[in-house]
């Protein structure tokens, strides 16, 4: 595929979530991640087996492979309606096309990037599956590394999901999530208390698949009690924020505690 053919194919897809660097200096027209440097991900995943939960277009799947991962398994069930809500209740013809195409070809963007970047099925495979249904048998074993980005708050049973992931993880898990510290009166008033705010409708981001949003304390403790001895957590924006898209936190969780005197660090 030459440059013009690739560019045409990328632009023919109505909605991209991730910004992915492709050959010919082509970057997919998504918006996430906002600031990758804030994630503090390792420079190398050499020889690691990686699970990418809620992979969507595959930015982090391909990042892991680029940094030396032996194998990546990407999973998603596309139940978050990303690209379909956009804070609206009605859609124009272009948006309707976007919603229809995503429902008919959910892995279209992932497959295009995988093919263009030259990764094989043995290096990278994707599975349509609910997080609640994952098992070691279905995914071909356990994982050294798990990416769990932008997914926790879409779950009706977040603790159950964290326990499922913990049982599949042998080393580290990285978690990115919306947090309510700056946008909720409960989060602002009691930063020392773990708070998980429930949104029974579409109150959070006008998206009725956003169910529970923790403050950073709750996020870290939830990960900790699911089976990770050490959790480090920090906000992705050091300033107090009002935009939901910037009210996020990141966690690094280790199955084995490297520090005998501390099992959790909250960096604010």
For the chain, give the DSSP string. Answer: --HHHHHHHHHTSS---B--EEGGGEE-S--B-S-GGGG---S--TT-EEEEET-TT-HHHHHHHHTT-SEEEEEE--TT-TTT-TT-SS--HHHHHHHHHHHH-TTHHHHHHHHHHT--TTTEEEEE--GGG--TTTTTS-EEEEEEES-GGG-S-HHHHHHHHHHHEEEEEEEEEE--TTTSHHHHH-TTS--EEE-SSSTTTT-TT--EEE-HHHHHHHHHHTT-SEEEEEESSSS---SGGG-EEEEEEESS-S-TT-SEEEE-
Per-residue model confidence (pLDDT) at position 232: 94
Per-residue model confidence (pLDDT) at position 96: 54
Per-residue model confidence (pLDDT) at position 153: 97
Per-residue model confidence (pLDDT) at position 140: 98
Q: Which residues pair with 265 in a beta bridge?
A: 232
Q: Which regions in the chain score pLDDT beneath 50?
A: 85-91, 268
Q: Which CATH architecture has domain 34-267?
A: 3-Layer(aba) Sandwich (3.40)
Per-residue model confidence (pLDDT) at position 89: 44
- d(C-alpha 198, C-alpha 7), whole Å: 42
In this structure, are residues 253 and 259 in contact, taking their beta carbons and an 8 Å threshold? Answer: no
Name, in order, each residue with C-beta under 8 angstroms of 24's C-beta and a sequence gap of 6 or more.
Answer: 3, 6, 7
Per-residue model confidence (pLDDT) at position 261: 57
Per-residue model confidence (pLDDT) at position 245: 86
Residue 188's nearest CA partner among 216, 164, 162 is 216
pTM above threshold 0.85? yes
Per-residue model confidence (pLDDT) at position 90: 45
Q: Which residues pair with 149 in a beta bridge?
A: 176
Per-residue model confidence (pLDDT) at position 83: 57
Per-residue model confidence (pLDDT) at position 87: 43
Per-residue model confidence (pLDDT) at position 26: 98
């Amino acid at each position: 595929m030459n440059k013009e053919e690739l560019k045409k194919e990328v632009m023919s897809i109505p909605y991209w979530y991730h910004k992915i660097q492709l050959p010919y200096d082509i970057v997919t027209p998504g918006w996430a991640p906002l600031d990758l440097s804030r994630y503090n991900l390792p420079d190398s995943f050499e020889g690691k087996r990686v699970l990418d939960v809620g992979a969507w277009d595959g930015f982090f799947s391909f990042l892991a492979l680029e940094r030396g991962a032996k194998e990546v398994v990407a999973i998603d069930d596309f139940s978050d309606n990303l690209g379909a809500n956009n804070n609206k209740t009605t859609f124009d013809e272009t948006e309707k096309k976007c919603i229809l195409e995503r429902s008919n070809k959910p892995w279209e963007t992932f497959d295009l990037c995988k093919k263009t970047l030259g990764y094989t099925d043995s290096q990278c495979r994707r599975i349509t599956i609910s997080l609640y249904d994952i098992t070691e048998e279905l995914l071909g074993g356990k994982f050294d590394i798990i990416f769990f980005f932008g997914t926790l708050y879409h779950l009706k049973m977040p603790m159950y999901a964290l326990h499922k992931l913990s049982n599949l993880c042998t080393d580290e898990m990285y978690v990115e999530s919306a947090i309510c510290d700056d946008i909720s009166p409960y989060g602002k008033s009691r930063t020392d208390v773990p708070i998980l705010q429930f949104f029974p409708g579409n109150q959070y981001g006008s998206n009725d698949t956003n169910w529970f949003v923790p403050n950073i304390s709750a996020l870290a403790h939830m990960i900790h009690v699911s089976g990770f001895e050490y959790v480090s957590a920090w906000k992705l924006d050091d300033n107090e924020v009002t935009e939901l898209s910037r009210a996020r936190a990141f966690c690094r969780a280790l199955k084995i505690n490297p520090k005998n005197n501390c099992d959790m660090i909250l960096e604010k």
